[in-house]
Structure 1
Amino acid sequence: MNLKMKLAAIAVVASVPFAAFAIGGPSGAKIDYHVQGHLGEVMMNPYGIAPLTAIVRDGGYTVKDVTVRVLPKPNGQEIKYNVSNRQVLTHGGIPVFGLYPDYVNHVEISYTRELRGKSEKFTDTIQLYAPPVYFEVAGITMEKEMPYGVEVKKVDPEFKDRLYFVNNIAEKSGIGTRVVWNNPAGGALEWNFWPQNTILDTAGHVRWYMFANPIYDLNSIYSAGVMMGFKQNDDGMLSWGYGQRYVKYDIMGREVFNRRLPLRFSDYSHSMDDAQNGHFFLRVASSNFKRPDGKNVHTVRDVIAEIDQEGVVVDEWRLADILDPYRDNVLKVLDQGAVCLNIDASQAGKTLTEEDIKALDKSDRFGDIVGTGAGRNWAHVNSVDYDPEDDSIIISSRHQSAMIKIGRDKKVKWILGSPEGWKKGWAEKVLTPVDADGKPIKCEGSKCEGDFDWTWTQHTAFKIDEKSKGDILYLSAFDNGDARGMEQPALPEMKYSRAVIYKIDQKKMTVQQVWEYGKERGHEWYSPVTSLTEYQADKNSIFVYSATAGASFDLASGAFTSSPNPFIEEFKWGAKEPSVEIQLKNCSGYQAWPFSIDKAMNAR
């Protein structure tokens, strides 16, 4: 079109009354979204928090028999899955998961399209551009490689289809440390970090990440905290919690519920178990606990709340009333440089003295500090697992270096941990170590002979349901290893972590160590905090995340010179070497686990 024609066209448009050009033009509303294939338009990031997902709208048809295939990059990993009719109806189209970030993805969708008795089958290949991964930052120079570098060291063929959900935690941000919960004295809201949640494939590529901003606000008491305790429920959906909230979403980002904690509780972190009875078991704190001395305090990481599907509280386990909150053997030998996520390199290797503990006990200092008694961080429970066989819970208490089973009657059934320091009433519940023949292993204090060790500042005490039966219970744990043997070693480099599995005879009150890994890796594999060990039934395997391994710091300045470099590993049952080893670079990990897209798209 030449210049004169363009000017004439503009003149014609200008002469027509504006009302004639309402949306859609004179013939009414018009749908003119870009459409590929034989259905409707595409909605990228349909629910606002999962940018590497999309929905291909059904276009007004009934869509069935759906298969989605995200074609891989060169040397990449294909993602292919079927989609249930329920999911198609729920999302109003075909849900697409696993797009590569900052990339034009080729996605093949096969389906049957029906309309008023007419049925047609199609296979469309569509192109979808997905955005780069974006996380908020604290301005730390070590964040420049975010989300993180990935080094795939080993993947055996039978594990190449794996997807791994990674729950990491950003550096502490100046935005998120403005509020200290202090009603009544104590609390832990200052524990506040940007979330970094992703799903990786075995080629090392990010295939999903959470853009948390729409549901997360570091400036808000009731919308902040640390996102932790992610689980993929039996219905394929994700549950987790943060700060004063516990939530459930599907992998596309659709909200099932996002609730404030019941007012009796506060400060969720670490663990939200989706139990077999449909209830959730949350590791929380008491928002108003009356101590034996009459003082009212806000407790720290020492309450388990059982909540039903409607958000009604069914029961609670107040551990300060069940265990001995004044057992201080472990507290006095903890490395004060790494008390879970309160990491301070300048305090590395330092411990509390008897005088420190006594002075604190006499004071009115409460909060997220290591000390005895309710209102201080005496228990630091980091996992809870419901056992339906005897209606009990199994907890991991980091600051007691013990894994403990407690019944519905609030009575301790057994304690897996060093016998040192347990008073009458609890001492009788400590399990006796035995060898493979059932013979007692000689132990002195906190050290045992042979192939047995207790766990130290451990995480994730999970019952292995598929291997357990009756009185015999298999338990997995990540033995972080701080204060091993109830002491600090002569040199920090002597510390090591382990993934470990125990076989417990609950009737005979004995425990046998049946598998371990990590001791042979030494200090390079040592994770002072966080991490996970969990059995995977689909491949009869053991998954391990050594989540804070490989960090380094300068003792002179008390500053970290690198972030951790976590290890993702998966082992065939009983194997001494991993079938999968993937190392992440420059990130602080909390937990990770295999994610099933088939379960997410087909459960229920």
Structure 2
Amino acid sequence: MKKLVSSAVVAGLLVGGFAMSALAAGGGSGPNTYRGVRQIGAVVMNPYKVAPLTALIRSAGYTLTDVKVTVKAKKDGVDISYNVSNQKVLQHGGIPVWGLYPDYVNEVAVSYKKNGEAVSETYKIYAPAIGLYGSGTGQKQILPDATITKDNPKYHKNIYLMNHLSSILPNAAQVTWNNPVGGALEWDYESYVWMVDGKGDIRWYLKTDEFRDPNHIMKKGNMMGFDQTADGDLIWGQSQVMNRYDLMGRKIFQRELPKSYIDFSHHMEETSKGTFLLRVASSDYKRKDGKNVRTVRDVIVELDTNGNVVDEWKIMDILDPYRDVNLLALDQGAVCLNVDATKAGQTANKEDLEDDHAPWGDVAGVGAGRNWAHINSVNYDANDDSIILSVRNQSAIVKITRDKKVKWILASKEGWTGDLATKVLKPIDANGKAIDCGESGSKCPGYESDKGGFDYTWTQHTAYKVNEKSKGSKVHVSVFDNGDSRGMEQPALINMKYSRAVEYVVDEKNMTVQQVWEYGKNRGFEWYSPITSVTEYNPKFDTMFVYSATAGLGDVKAFRAGKAALTPFLEEIKYGTQEVEFEMKFINSNTIGYRALPIDINKAFNSK
């Protein structure tokens, strides 16, 4: 039998190129040697086909334990280091490598025990350039550049998942559900999902063309609602399906929604019970007038780990789908991601919203079958087995119990009637004194003052309970207050608009609400995000993590004319203060920012 090439020769080869391990003839039974590199097996790039900046060093049949991986920093970059549990080694059949720089020869240091013997070695792995869907015209690059505008070394090793969308690409198609009528499937944009480190370098991306197919009804729709589970996996939805994959790209499940539901978008999360909450719509809803419709973004469904329905909340039966005061105040040029420059600054009238005039489907209007609610987040509160909703088109944050009762409403009192009016929280100041917000309740003292003052949220996103700060009947809630329709009106000038990250304390016993923190008002129009975005408490650093995802889109006409640029801001803000400890700005992009979230790498590779 011929001798194998020496390990010293193999050690000098690039793993991404020609792995020149020798093969022996082996006779009729075929080769009887192993194609490997260094002391164990071959290196496989993108082993699960959907995450090109990952690799797998195969175990070659050895028992590998105590594995540690470090992807070395390039110049001015940062190392990514993580331990790999023995179970994860068995799961992947070797050592998972995560966080490779694209279009770069990466130096990867690994240490492990091979059949109990300690080994340390270094690989050089070339990862290819980023390959994602492009428009072919009017586009300078696929993903935006991240620039650090407020640096802080303690955040350099952080990983942030970015989720953007684009409506201008030729595979961003529009489809209408025709039976019965309505629905929101036409909301079908090209999706971009990637991760950057705290130095702004791209270290992972999802090959979205493996998920989206404009010619397949079940593979259309926006990829949205990304979240990390307790054991480190990624979950998200895409119109008619829900997904769970690990960070290496291994599929755990990909399921169609149960037949009662359609048109997932915005939010999916794992509860503390191990179930999943998804914001969906009804596939066949009978209105009181006898019409059957597909509804729009107004149903919450809870599923178990096998995709079985546990419970549902039909919000059109719980809230008032005919409350129109906020719908009449919306800027029709930026109704969430349905951006229409021809309607910038315009508001609707009652006839536009009423049943005899408004079309069915993904349009602002009253009644089930139209976008009266536009719920963009659902957050589980284990303390009383309830859900907290951000109801964007009502400018309302609402808590609903398991028995489908409204517990409280954080919103202007304007337009709420009957029993719902009794659920509206009363604002108080720091001394517990009631705040008089006038006859309408929409304009509280100081709500537009640079010095602060109580205000509600307007067309907000991501209403999340801050579990670490909540106690007893005092519930802390973080929200991104986008700011459109502030005070139930449009301002005289578009550049008077602003957004805020804000935190409230809801006293569920006394039915009051106190604003305890806000950020962003002083940054004005530059920081204003008319749609999307997120505010979420980050317990790792005791900060508020904020992503103003569509900063620069406020002047819709200027943006569509190419005279304005999207420049989203990502911040880590010291809790309870105005101190920005870290800020990253995204430039050179024609994609629309949706959300971002911190990712825990060790949780992904250390869990069983």
TM-score (norm 1): 0.93
- Residue 435 of structure 1 corresponds to 429
Q: For 2:467 and 2:556, locate their aligned partners in 1 and report how far apart those are by CA, in whole Å.
A: 44
Alpha-carbon offset, residue 27 of structure 1: 5.1
- Residue 200 of structure 2 corresponds to 204
Bigger Cα displacement from structure 2, 264-273 vs 171-180: 171-180
Percent of paired sites with the same residue: 52
- Residue 55 of structure 2 corresponds to 54
* Aligned residues of 1:172 and 1:192 also touching (Cα < 8 A): no
2:595 to 583, 591, 599: 591
Alpha-carbon offset, residue 336 of structure 1: 0.3
Letter in 1 for 2:85: S
Higher radius of gyration, 1 or 2? 1
Bigger Cα displacement from structure 2, 156-165 vs 475-484: 156-165
Q: For 1:469 and 1:227, locate their aligned partners in 2 and report how far apart those are by CA, in whole Å.
A: 35
* Aligned residues of 1:553 and 1:559 also touching (Cα < 8 A): no
Superposed, 1:471-550 pairs within 5 Å as 471-550=473-552
* Aligned residues of 1:199 and 1:206 also touching (Cα < 8 A): yes
Secondary structure of the equivalent of 2:526?
Answer: helix
Superposed, 1:326-337 pairs within 5 Å as 326-337=322-333
1:316 to 306, 312, 315: 312
- Residue 290 of structure 2 corresponds to 294
Secondary structure of the equivalent of 1:539?
Answer: coil
1:123 to 120, 127, 147: 120
- Residue 94 of structure 1 corresponds to 95
- Residue 67 of structure 2 corresponds to 66
- Residue 459 of structure 1 corresponds to 461
Coordinate RMSD, CA, aligned: 1.7
Alpha-carbon offset, residue 30 of structure 1: 2.5
- Change in Cα spacing, 1:591 to 1:289, as seen in structure 2 (3 Å) is same
Q: For 2:52 and 2:309, locate their aligned partners in 1 and report how far apart those are by CA, in whole Å.
A: 34
* Aligned residues of 1:194 and 1:218 also touching (Cα < 8 A): no
Matched, 1:137 2:134: yes
String of CA shifts for 1:203-227, please: whole Å, max 9, x gaps.
1110000012222212211011001
Secondary structure of the equivalent of 1:413?
Answer: strand
Alpha-carbon offset, residue 38 of structure 1: 1.2
Secondary structure of the equivalent of 2:163?
Answer: strand
- Change in Cα spacing, 1:560 to 1:348, as seen in structure 2 (3 Å) is farther
Q: For 1:120 and 1:503, locate their aligned partners in 2 and report how far apart those are by CA, in whole Å.
A: 55
String of CA shifts for 1:505-549, please: whole Å, max 9, x gaps.
110111111111100000000000000000111211110000000
Superposed, 1:186-197 pairs within 5 Å as 186-197=182-193
* Aligned residues of 1:552 and 1:561 also touching (Cα < 8 A): no
Q: For 1:561 and 1:316, locate their aligned partners in 2 and report how far apart those are by CA, in whole Å.
A: 45
- Structure 1: which 5+ residue stretches go unaligned? 1-21
* Aligned residues of 1:195 and 1:227 also touching (Cα < 8 A): yes
Bigger Cα displacement from structure 2, 433-442 vs 321-330: 433-442
Q: For 2:486 and 2:156, locate their aligned partners in 1 and report how far apart those are by CA, in whole Å.
A: 36
Q: For 1:472 and 1:415, locate their aligned partners in 2 and report how far apart those are by CA, in whole Å.
A: 15
Q: For 2:525 and 2:158, locate their aligned partners in 1 and report how far apart those are by CA, in whole Å.
A: 28
Q: For 1:402 and 1:296, locate their aligned partners in 2 and report how far apart those are by CA, in whole Å.
A: 27
Q: For 2:164 and 2:140, locate their aligned partners in 1 and report how far apart those are by CA, in whole Å.
A: 16
Count of paired positions = 576
Superposed, 1:294-373 pairs within 5 Å as 294-357=290-353, 360-363=354-357, 365-373=359-367
- Residue 44 of structure 2 corresponds to 43
* Aligned residues of 2:134 and 2:142 also touching (Cα < 8 A): no
Q: For 1:134 and 1:557, locate their aligned partners in 2 and report how far apart those are by CA, in whole Å.
A: 26
Superposed, 1:254-273 pairs within 5 Å as 254-273=250-269
Q: For 2:136 and 2:43, locate their aligned partners in 1 and report how far apart those are by CA, in whole Å.
A: 35
Letter in 1 for 2:427: P
Secondary structure of the equivalent of 2:594?
Answer: strand
TM-score (norm 2): 0.92
Q: For 1:543 and 1:94, locate their aligned partners in 2 and report how far apart those are by CA, in whole Å.
A: 32
Letter in 2 for 1:130: A
Q: For 1:227 and 1:249, locate their aligned partners in 2 and report how far apart those are by CA, in whole Å.
A: 13
* Aligned residues of 2:293 and 2:369 also touching (Cα < 8 A): yes
Q: For 2:444 and 2:250, locate their aligned partners in 1 and report how far apart those are by CA, in whole Å.
A: 50
Alpha-carbon offset, residue 24 of structure 1: 5.3
String of CA shifts for 1:481-519, please: whole Å, max 9, x gaps.
001000000000000000001111110111111111100
